[in-house]
Structure 1
Amino acid sequence: MNKLRLRSLLAFLFAFALIAAACGSDSDTASDDGGSSDDSSSSDDDGSSDDSSGDDGAASGLEGTLRVLIHQNPPGVEFFESFNDDFEAANPGVNVEMAVVKADDIPTVNQTRLNANDIDVTTISVTGFDKAVQPYMSDVDTPFWQQLIEAGLLMDLSDQPYVQNYDEAAIADGSFDGGVYSLGLGRTIYSGVFVNLDLLADVGIDVPTTWDELVSACDAVTDAGFKCMIAGGQDGWPVFVGTYGLLGALYPDQAGMVEGLWTGDLKWNDERGLELFDRYATYADMLDAESAGLTGDSAGPRFAAGDVAFGPMGAWMAGPIDDAASFEWTYIPFPGADDAADNQTFFGKYDMSLAVAAETPVADIAHAYLAAFSDPATYNDFANATNYLPTQPTAELSNTLGAATAPILQQGNFAIGQEQLYVNPKGAGQWAIGREAALWLYNGDFGDPVEAANQVQADLESGLAG
């Protein structure tokens, strides 16, 4: 990050904020978000004070402690540590206390700390506002983020200027019931395939664009003595996540697919469903036996060794692969459909999303913090540090992943995947989540794809009937 650039920006922003505050322009925001009011007694509550003109905090007019919560993600943590240092340097009256938790702990920690009024800016989700309850669903629980909003624990950011730095889709993802409650800091692709271009050239084949071409390419690669593809079979989940692009290729309308499964208009064992499961089985056979000993984290560096043609993995592995690979590579949508035109979409999710506690006593600092982070130059640095697909229209990834994905993303061909849209009916059997079936076929839980599809549909219907 360019610290001089950031500090100059922060100084400008906060000088402007101080002038605006003196003119009374904060009163509307304060009354809406519960952070501070425009009377003299409340300035002590939000960490600023009219009596601070003689101390260091007067440089920006901000004073107090900002409590920030983020999730464990090494590049992201490193960036925020540096950003926090810069923010404190530009605002000597401010202290940033940052806590880091595991991603799986975010719902519980947010519930506890927001209710205790023990947090100001928080990572509210690493999957966006997902699993929203739809009108056709019945007897399902509302997602945790919705429960926090309806409990009045998150601040509506609709009127904050920095929100407009993000693209419309990202703003929509962080919105609920007419308000904007989170900033989506990035998107993640989980449906693509890393391709070893040098290996394919050595074998004498092109990058596959259809399902049949992929199968033929694998045959050619293995006949030449190389490995076709690998995934983190030891962890399990990377095997089925590797097929999310295959699922999307056959069901490009992922939201429509979820609705169809709930209403009965689609079935896992109808004609198209059986085609999907047959391809799941083929995919499981194409995975090299070495996959069984690989974790999700080790599969990327193993692909980078150079003797594997394809790595069906999330885009988050781009960093480790770029660091270790000595060959040319690219990242493509999974060629799961028969028509190349149907294999032009990346599927994924929104990742890290920041929110502000509704009852924070330092609302002015929280907004200044998010405004500084949301500055396009600073945000661009963040996106490149984390390899998130940018949610600001002016940001670009200046690396191999960015070059590979730009032609697809610039066409608007990014869609939220089924994992973020599907809510399993209560009472459904253990095999009801059909998007995971490639793992079961890989593990040998089912010896036949038709048997697997029939079982998945039966377990789904047991929940729908309840």
Structure 2
Amino acid sequence: MEFSKPRRLALGASGLVAALALAGCSAGGGANDGSELSVYIDSNPSSIALWDALVAGYAEVNPDVTIKVETHPAGGEGDNLIKTRLSTGDMNDMFWYNSGSTLKALNPDKTLVSFVDEEWVGSLDENFIQAVSTEDGLYGAPVGASNAGAMTYNKDIYAELGLEVPTTWDEFMANAQAVTDAGLVGIIQTYGDAWTSQVPVLGDFYNVTAADPEWADQYTAGVAKFADEPALAGFQHLQDAFDAGVLNRDYASATYDDGVRMLAEGEGAHYPMLTQNVAEALGANFADEESSIGVFPIPGDDAASNGLTVWMPNGVYVPQTTEGAKLDAVKEFLAWLVTPESCAIQGSATTLGGPFIVDGCDLPDNAAALVGDMQSYFDEGKTSVALEFLSAIKGPSLEQITVEVGSGIRSAADGAALYDQDVIKQAKQLGLDW
């Protein structure tokens, strides 16, 4: 479940009709010999730019195949359109969609083509494989790079104060206090945009799964709770930061844009945030300061298990209605998508929020410095996927609860217990026997 700021581009009815007319009568459309393929993607401008570049790049190496891009609205409306097309057999030859638990909601074993035996599967990061697989198959090829919920920080402040990157929560809080004592903001928080308050909890999941590898399964079964350790720690971190008095004075009204500005301009040292969001904002508004911003994992209690909580990119999936020569052509395209050549195109067409998750795909020279900081954690296997890739259960009130805990309105224990009650609503909607 995404909690970054949505960006939408409305698709006019005439544009949709024209796209379908070009592709043929059905959504899949095109020639049955595989010379014409279609892909269904969301209508975010960045998504369109990425796919325009990929289609053009593939045409250079395979000019006999034409790939037409059709868009759908982002968010819940797009989710429903995808589910409808799959259920009615009208899905395009392939579609680009979330990996993780939202993919599992599409019942991929019965609706999608499995690629578990394709050679390129061995080049994928294990986190992505986990995010697009069931016990019976593997269903997606990645397009895009990773992202992390972590602690972005100002390297210049660290250098001036002689601070080292912390690997435990106590070390981190000591650094935040040293920054505050120097007259700067120890930890930036931006509860004016409530969605940002979730990062300390969601980004702590590496530490949860390091302490209990079965926690996600137990959580989905209704056994593991946020009110208990190890998951309580994320809420406790919010309380710790407030209690220590190391936040910016305007934490209650400051926005995400304020947070990135404060970090980039050196008003504050730490900002818990998604690396994708920060990388995009730095590139757009603070290019000169970009090299001064780094990232490290949200620390836990054990320095030996310090690692990143990561979000995986979307996958390209193929409905079972794609058959014969069309399926053969799609398979060739998917094999190309997981090559260094494809990754180079992706890196030039979009802002990266993390390393690629395909072997042999290197970061471009213009990647944000914080993305480079993440690479060592991937190389050393010190990453784990966020909870949303392992469980479909996320309560609707998390951001309101985390704002309350982070503002001293509610204790960490009370907030976690309240969230345990909040998630029951979605568990019941999913038909789970809690």
TM-score when normalising by structure 2: 0.75
Alignment of 1:220-369 (within 5 A): 220-249=178-207, 252-253=210-211, 255-261=213-219, 266-270=224-228, 277-284=235-242, 286-296=246-256, 299-316=259-276, 317-322=278-283, 324=286, 325-326=288-289, 328-337=292-301, 339-342=302-305, 344-360=306-322, 362-369=326-333
Aligned-residue offset at 1:403 = 2.4
Alignment of 1:45-124 (within 5 A): 47=31, 63-64=35-36, 66-88=37-59, 90-91=62-63, 94-99=66-71, 101-114=73-86, 115-124=88-97
* Distance in 1, Cα, partners of 2:424 & 2:67: 54
Cα deviations across residues 242-283 of structure 1 (Å, max 9, x unaligned)? 333345335524652234446676554446566654333123
* Distance in 1, Cα, partners of 2:396 & 2:75: 24
Alignment of 1:439-450 (within 5 A): 439-443=403-407, 446-450=409-413
Alignment of 1:171-190 (within 5 A): 171-186=129-144, 188-190=146-148
Coordinate RMSD, CA, aligned: 3.5
Q: Helix, strand or coil: the match of 1:243?
A: helix
Aligned-residue offset at 1:116 = 4.6
Cα deviations across residues 27-55 of structure 1 (Å, max 9, x unaligned)? xxxxxxxxxxxxxxxxxx97256xxxxxx
Q: Helix, strand or coil: the match of 2:214?
A: helix
Larger radius of gyration: 1
Aligned-residue offset at 1:178 = 2.5
Quickly say closer, same or farther: Cα 1:278–1:163, change in 2 above 3 A.
closer
**Counterpart code for 2:100:** F
State whether residues 173 and 184 of structure 1, in contact with CA within 8 Å, keep that contact through their aligned partners in structure 2.
no
* Distance in 1, Cα, partners of 2:121 & 2:49: 24
Range that drifts further, 205-214 or 71-80: 71-80
Q: Which runs of 5+ in 2 are unaligned?
A: 1-28
1:395 to 2:355 alignment? no
Quickly say closer, same or farther: Cα 1:63–1:205, change in 2 above 3 A.
closer
What is residue 35 of structure 1 aligned with on the other side? none
Cα deviations across residues 123-153 of structure 1 (Å, max 9, x unaligned)? 132xx13279xxxxxxxxxx4222xx24x43
Range that drifts further, 296-305 or 101-110: 296-305
Cα deviations across residues 305-330 of structure 1 (Å, max 9, x unaligned)? 22220111111022332551525222
Q: Which runs of 5+ in 1 are unaligned?
A: 1-44, 50-61, 133-142
State whether residues 283 and 438 of structure 1, in contact with CA within 8 Å, keep that contact through their aligned partners in structure 2.
no
* Distance in 2, Cα, partners of 1:443 & 1:257: 28
* Distance in 2, Cα, partners of 1:116 & 1:228: 54
TM-score when normalising by structure 1: 0.71
Q: Helix, strand or coil: the match of 1:354?
A: strand
Quickly say closer, same or farther: Cα 1:287–1:246, change in 2 above 3 A.
farther
Identity %: 21
**Counterpart code for 1:418:** L
State whether residues 254 and 417 of structure 1, in contact with CA within 8 Å, keep that contact through their aligned partners in structure 2.
no
State whether residues 186 and 390 of structure 1, in contact with CA within 8 Å, keep that contact through their aligned partners in structure 2.
yes
What is residue 451 of structure 1 aligned with on the other side? 414
* Distance in 2, Cα, partners of 1:372 & 1:449: 48
**How many equivalent pairs are there?**
386
